[in-house]
Amino acid sequence: MAELLEKWRALSTQNFTPLQASLELTFRCNERCQHCYIDDFRDDPDRVLSLDQWREILDKLREAGTLYLILMGGEAMLNKHFWEILEYSSKLGFYNSMISNGLLIKDLETAKRLKDNGLHRITFSLYSLDEDIHDTLTQVRGSFRTTMRALQFCREAGIIVSVNCLLTKLNIHTVYKLIDWCIEENLEIREDPIVTPGFNGKTDILELRASRAQLLEYYRERARRWPHSLKKDKKSNGDDYICNVGKGKCAITPYGELLTCIDVRVSLGSLVENSFDELWLSKEANSWRNIKVKDVEGASDCSNPCELCPAMSLTEEGDRHKLTKNDAELEFIKGQVRHEFSIE
């Protein structure tokens, strides 16, 4: 099964078919995460979409070839049409997943309703098993307990559950316990070592990035547990794309604007007012999707050149064809750990 899905993913990248679309259903949120890239947790009332407009967007994505939908935000469930959108999306045949803090999943009944309406998978943002640390990051007291309860409700309802943990200087030292717990509970966990800059280029949240010493410790622990995870990708000849931006994935903002990736905050235009192809085949979209390893100075020496992010380069270095200082720093850290553990 994994092989078949991988084949479809590869094909979608090749064909520029947006097999996966992230839908930001709202910027509103019931948490106030210190690290969040959203700068204003409000929707412009003049620009929010009606239910019919969301349905129209889903029809267009379906036509464009999308299979996987990732509902997010903000907190997706705060969109007043959330349930109708989910129901319609299931009717059209999408695979629905959601990234959530779970604060609105307060009982088993709600979790069952999500399952019944076609939510196949939910990823909870969990920052630590230490309640204080989690709540300090989300800036909502009690959020850890509510998220953990929601996670159990969703498992009980039969939804596939996984965990996302952004690593910051405040929680990185506690991630090992979280990983062990996820293994014990048979939950997939994805750790993300990079705090991205905020929308509108806001960089103050970058101060939350883990320090070199913390990241060295993190990668050493990974090397002890899973040495293969630090292996370099096979050397690129330069013609590989640096990421999947504008190819096998796309994103939609709460106002219905089409993006080449959720991290690239350059609107291709309104998907309510335009056809998908008009926007997707535009010059702007091409300029993002065609960036190759050879176009980014120093990228071919990176251990994972196809995971570089041109949006971060643009915000942090003012040029999407430049490696960020943070990329270089991570490369240095991983290189040092590979050397210490004799990983090729």
Q: Are strands 249-252 and 119-125 parallel, antiparallel or unpaired?
A: unpaired
Q: Would you say 96 or 123 has its CB closer to other proteins?
A: 96
Selected binder of ligand SAM within 17, 79, 89, 101 (CB under 6 A): 101
Q: Would you say 204 or 344 has its CB closer to ligand SAM?
A: 204
Of the candidates 198, 75, 193, the one whose C-alpha atom is nearest the C-alpha of residue 143 is 75
Q: Would you say 120 or 321 has its CB closer to other proteins?
A: 120
35 binds ligand SAM (CB under 6 A): yes
172 binds ligand SAM (CB under 6 A): no
Residue 182 contact among ligand SAM, other proteins, none, beta carbon within 5 to 8 Å by kind: none
* Least spacing, CB of residue 328 vs other proteins, in Å: 38
Residue 17 contact among other proteins, ligand SAM, none, beta carbon within 5 to 8 Å by kind: other proteins
Report phi then psi at 320, rounded to 5.
-75, -5
Helix (H) or strand (E) holding 21: strand 20-24
The pattern of x and - marking residues 276 through 315 that bind ligand SAM according to CB under 6 A reads ----------------------------------------
Q: Would you say 95 or 199 has its CB closer to other proteins?
A: 95
User: DSSP letter string over 93-150?
Assistant: T-EEEEEE--TT--SHHHHHHHHHTTEEEEEEE---SSHHHHHHHHT-TTHHHHHHHH
Selected binder of ligand SAM within 8, 37, 181, 341 (CB under 6 A): 37
User: Does residue 22 contact residue 252 with C-beta atoms inside 8 Å?
Assistant: yes
CA 211 → CA 170, 173, 184, distances in Å?
10, 11, 29
Q: Which two tokens stand for residue 281?
A: 């085949």
Residue 101 contact among ligand SAM, other proteins, none, beta carbon within 5 to 8 Å by kind: ligand SAM
CA 150 → CA 155, 161, 176, 331, distances in Å?
9, 10, 22, 37
For residue 201, say if its preceding peptide bond is cis, omega within 30 degrees of 0. Answer: no
Chain residues binding ligand SAM by CB under 6 A are 29, 31, 33, 35-37, 72-75, 99-101, 125, 164, 166, 192, 195-196, 205
